[in-house]
């Protein structure tokens, strides 16, 4: 019985046990799953975040979207260009403040967002598959506490 894929060599143990390493592995997995899912729609994580923010908060300026999604203003520009290209959002000048664009999600955008929501839910399921419901809750609580303290010096 021969191994089909060459055996994955062991990493240095000092790294293998690091929390930072485990987190980076978990992130790699979740990123891979999400990217695969989003790619079926020709989109990426940024697009999902933006569409979700638009549905949750309604039409908004690009700067507001940047703040709400934690995506850099310049990256918002590019992602919105993509979304507009797919007809998922609409950009129009703000008549009350000529610095701004008002971004609106289109019906097609809402429809796409629904599909992405399903994909994202499926990814959570796949990612957490090895854990019981109780363990999932525990993990989420623990990660939440790590992340809460994000902006402390």
Site of interaction with a copy of itself (CB under 8 A): 6, 8-15, 17-20, 22-27, 29-31, 33-34, 48-49, 52-53, 55-57, 64, 67-70, 117, 120, 123-124, 127-131, 135-136, 138-140, 142-151
Give Cβ neighbours of residue 116 (< 8 Å, ≥ 6 apart): 37, 38, 41, 43, 48, 51
What stretch of H or E contains 93?
strand 89-93
What stretch of H or E contains 110?
helix 107-128
| Residue 46 near residue 75 (C-beta atoms within 8 A) | yes
Closer by beta carbon to DNA, 133 or else 148:
148
- Cross-strand bridge partners of residue 104: 90
Helices (H) and strands (E) in the chain, counts: 7, 2
| Residue 115 contact, options a copy of itself, DNA, none, Cβ 5-8 Å cut-off depending on partner type | none
Instruction: Write down the least CB distance from residue 51 to a copy of itself, Å.
Output: 9
C-alpha 55: how far from its chain's center? Answer: 15
Closer by beta carbon to DNA, 32 or else 126:
32
Closer by beta carbon to DNA, 81 or else 137:
81
User: Residues in the site for DNA, rule: CB under 7 A?
Assistant: 6, 24, 28, 31-32, 34-35, 39, 44-46, 61-64, 66, 70-78, 80-81, 91, 97-101
| Residue 138 contact, options DNA, a copy of itself, none, Cβ 5-8 Å cut-off depending on partner type | a copy of itself
CA 14 to CA 36: how far, in whole Å?
A: 31
Closer by beta carbon to DNA, 135 or else 143:
143
């Amino acid at each position: 019985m021969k191994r089909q894929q060459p055996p994955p060599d062991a990493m240095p143990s000092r790294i293998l046990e690091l929390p930072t390493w485990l987190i980076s592995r978990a992130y790699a997995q979740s990123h891979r799953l999400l990217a695969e899912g989003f790619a079926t729609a020709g989109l990426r994580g940024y697009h999902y975040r933006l569409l979700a923010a638009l549905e949750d908060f309604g039409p908004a300026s690009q700067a507001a979207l940047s703040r709400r999604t934690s995506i850099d203003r310049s990256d918002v520009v590019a992602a919105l260009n993509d979304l507009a290209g797919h007809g998922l959002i609409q950009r129009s000048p703000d008549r009350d403040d000529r610095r701004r664009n008002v971004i609106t999600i289109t019906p097609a955008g809402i429809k796409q967002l629904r599909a992405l929501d399903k994909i994202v839910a499926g990814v959570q399921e796949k990612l957490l598959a090895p854990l019981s419901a109780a363990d999932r809750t525990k993990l989420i609580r623990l990660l939440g506490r790590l992340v809460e303290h994000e902006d402390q010096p």
